[in-house]
Amino acid sequence: MADPSRVSGDPALAVGVSIPRVDGRAKVRGRALYVDDLTAEGMLHGQTVRSRVPHGVLRAIRQDPDFDWSGITVATAADIPGENVVALIEDDQPALVPIGGRVRHPDEAVALVAAPTRARAREAADHIELDIEPLPASFTIEESLAGEVVLYGDDNVMRRFDVQKGQDVERALAEADFVIDGTYRTGPQEQMYIEPQGVMAAWDDQGACRLTGSMQCPYYVHKAIARLTALPPEKVVIAQSVTGGGFGGKEEYPSMIGAHAAVLARASGAPVKLVYDRDEDIGATTKRHPARVHHRLGVMKDGTIVAQDVDVVLDGGAYVTLSPVVLSRAVLHATGPYRCPNVRIVGRAVATNVSPHGAFRGFGAPQTTFPYERQIDKAARQLGIEPFEMRRRNMLELGDETATGQTLSYSVGGPAALARAEAAAGSAPPRELAPAEQGTPVRRGRGLAFYYHGAGFTGSGEEKLAGRATVALCEGGGFEVRSSSTDIGQGTLTIFAQLAAAALGVDVGLVRVPEPETGSVPDSGPTVASRTCMVVGGVVERAASALRRRIEAWADEQGIDAPMDELGRRAAGELGEISETAQYSPPPGIEWDDDSYTGSAYAVYGWAACVVDVAVDLDTYEVQVERCIHAVDVGKAIHPIIVKGQIEGGTLQALGWALWEHVAYERGSVVNRRMTDCIVPTFADAPELETIIVEEPYPHGPHGAKGVGEIPMDGPAAAVANALEDALGAPFDAVPALPEHIARALAQAERAPVSKNEREVIS
Partner 1 sequence: MTAYLRPNTLEEALAVREAHPEYTILAGGTDLLVSGHRVPPPPGIVDLFDLRPLRGIARDGDGSLRLGAATTYLDVLSSDTGREELSILRAAAREIGALQIQARGTLGGNLVTSSPVGDTLPVWLALGAEVELSSAGRGARRVAYDAFCTGYRQTDMAPDELVTAVTIPPPAPGTRRFWRKVGTRRAQSISKLMIAATARLENGLIAEPRIGLGALADRPIRGVAVERAMAGRPPDEDTAARAARALAAEITPIDDVRSSADYRLTVATNLVARFVRLLAEPA
Q: Name the minimum Å distance from CB 681 to partner 1.
A: 6
Non-local CB neighbours of 331 within 8 Å, separated by 6+ positions: 161, 163, 312, 345, 347, 364, 368, 597
Subset of residues 438 to 477 that bind partner 1, contact rule: CB under 8 A: 438-440
Piece in contact with partner 1 (CB under 8 A), picked from 247-255, 328-336, 669-677, 702-710: 669-677
Number of Cβ atoms within 10 Å of the Cβ of 545: 18
Q: Which is nearer to partner 1, 418 or 679 (CB)?
A: 679
What values do phi and psi take at 505, rounded to 5? 80, 35
Q: How far is CA 699 from CA 548, 573, 632, 703, 705, in A?
A: 22, 37, 18, 8, 8
Considering only 52, 162, 619, 699, the residue that binds partner 1 (CB under 8 A) is 619
DSSP for 189-242, written as a single string? -----SSPPEEEEEE-TTS-EEEEES-S-HHHHHHHHHHHHT--GGGEEEEEPB
Non-local CB neighbours of 643 within 8 Å, separated by 6+ positions: 634, 637, 693, 708
Subset of residues 294 to 353 that bind partner 1, contact rule: CB under 8 A: none
Q: Which is nearer to partner 1, 533 or 734 (CB)?
A: 734
The alpha-helical segments, DSSP class H, found in 454-507 are: 461-465, 492-504
Considering only 26, 423, 747, 762, the residue that binds partner 1 (CB under 8 A) is 747
Selection from 472, 646, 456 nearest residue 538 by Cα: 456
Q: Which is nearer to partner 1, 585 or 620 (CB)?
A: 620
Q: Does 117 bind partner 1 (CB under 8 A)?
A: no
Q: Which is nearer to partner 1, 359 or 442 (CB)?
A: 442
Cis peptide before 736 (omega within 30 of 0): yes
- Residues present in the chain in total: 763
Q: Which is nearer to partner 1, 10 or 619 (CB)?
A: 619
Three-state DSSP class for 35?
Answer: helix
Q: Name the minimum Å distance from CB 625 to partner 1.
A: 11
Give CA angle at 424 (423, 427), nearest 5°: 75
x/- map, 673-712, partner 1, by CB under 8 A: ---xx-x-xxxxx---------------------------
Q: Which is nearer to partner 1, 410 or 660 (CB)?
A: 660
Considering only 12, 423, 433, 664, the residue that binds partner 1 (CB under 8 A) is 664
Q: Does 740 bind partner 1 (CB under 8 A)?
A: yes
Q: Are strands 479-482 and 511-512 parallel, antiparallel or unpaired?
A: parallel
Piece in contact with partner 1 (CB under 8 A), picked from 88-96, 238-246, 693-701, 742-750: 742-750
Q: Which is nearer to partner 1, 174 or 664 (CB)?
A: 664
Piece in contact with partner 1 (CB under 8 A), picked from 30-38, 42-50, 229-237, 617-625: 617-625
Using the CB atoms, write b or e for 403-414: b if 16+ within 10 Å.
Answer: bbbbebeebbbb
What values do phi and psi take at 442, rounded to 5? -130, 140
Q: Which is nearer to partner 1, 118 or 393 (CB)?
A: 118
Q: Name the minimum Å distance from CB 655 to partner 1.
A: 11
Q: Does 648 bind partner 1 (CB under 8 A)?
A: no
Piece in contact with partner 1 (CB under 8 A), picked from 288-296, 470-478, 586-594, 743-751: 743-751
Q: Does 434 bind partner 1 (CB under 8 A)?
A: no
How far does CA 636 lie from the centroid of its chain?
A: 21
Three-state DSSP class for 38?
Answer: coil
Q: Does 621 bind partner 1 (CB under 8 A)?
A: yes
Q: Name the minimum Å distance from CB 439 to partner 1.
A: 4
Q: Does 18 bind partner 1 (CB under 8 A)?
A: no
DSSP for 603-666, written as a single string? SEEEEEEEEEEEEEETTT--EEEEEEEEEEE-S--SSHHHHHHHHHHHHHHHHHHHHT----EE
Q: Does 743 bind partner 1 (CB under 8 A)?
A: yes
Q: Does 30 bind partner 1 (CB under 8 A)?
A: no
Number of Cβ atoms within 10 Å of the Cβ of 591: 12
Q: Does 436 bind partner 1 (CB under 8 A)?
A: no
What values do phi and psi take at 694, rounded to 5? -105, 135
- Name the residues that contact partner 1, by CB under 8 A: 119, 438-440, 618-622, 660, 664, 671-672, 676-677, 679, 681-685, 739-740, 743-744, 747
